[in-house]
Structure 1
Amino acid sequence: MPSEPLPAWVLQQRRRVGSRVRELREARELSQERLGELAGLDRKTIYRVELAQYGTSIDHLALIARALGVEIVALFN
């Protein structure tokens, strides 16, 4: 983890991914809890990803994408 604060553009990208996860989840009428179950992740992890509270791993994003039925690249569109 960098000791310096992250650049604003990195945080902006994190927020974009979180918003996209929320958008796809809601389009499928899934709760955060249900998405977590489908992805094998804790509901709190889904919550934190959607709110961009922390940098998530590519592994978590891959699990979330699969649970949503999309390619991982869809989380970045």
Structure 2
Amino acid sequence: MPRSNPPDWVLARRRQIGDQIRAARLHANLTQEAVANAIPMERPNYNRIEQGHSAATLDTLLLIADVLGVPLSELVQ
């Protein structure tokens, strides 16, 4: 059975979370490459999370929050 696309509100929320991740990364003065290497993840995959084009797992969000030095709640509020 083919997988259906998530509703529009989920896609919008995913983009918002990506924006919050990007803001926290810039505040930490880190590049996408630095965060991706620390997770570890390929930079293009990390970029897709920041752009909201890819859904991050909870584990990945926890790793990103740790690298950025912020609580997970700050990224997903």
TM-score, normalization by structure 1: 0.88
CA RMSD in angstroms comes to 1.4
Distance 1:66 1:18 in 2: 16
- Write the mapping of 1:1-77 to structure 2, written as runs, cut at 5 A: 3-77=3-77
Q: Which runs of 4+ in 1 moved over 6 A?
A: none
Distance 2:65 2:45 in 1: 14
> Cα distance, 1:4 vs. partner?
2.0
Question: How many matched pairs?
Answer: 76
* Identity, % of aligned positions: 33
Structure 1 gaps of 5+ residues are none
> Cα distance, 1:39 vs. partner?
2.3
TM-score, normalization by structure 2: 0.88
> Cα distance, 1:70 vs. partner?
1.0
> Cα distance, 1:16 vs. partner?
0.8
Which fold has the larger relative contact order, with Cα–Cα distance below 8 Å and residues 6 or more apart in sequence?
Answer: 2
Distance 1:19 1:36 in 2: 16
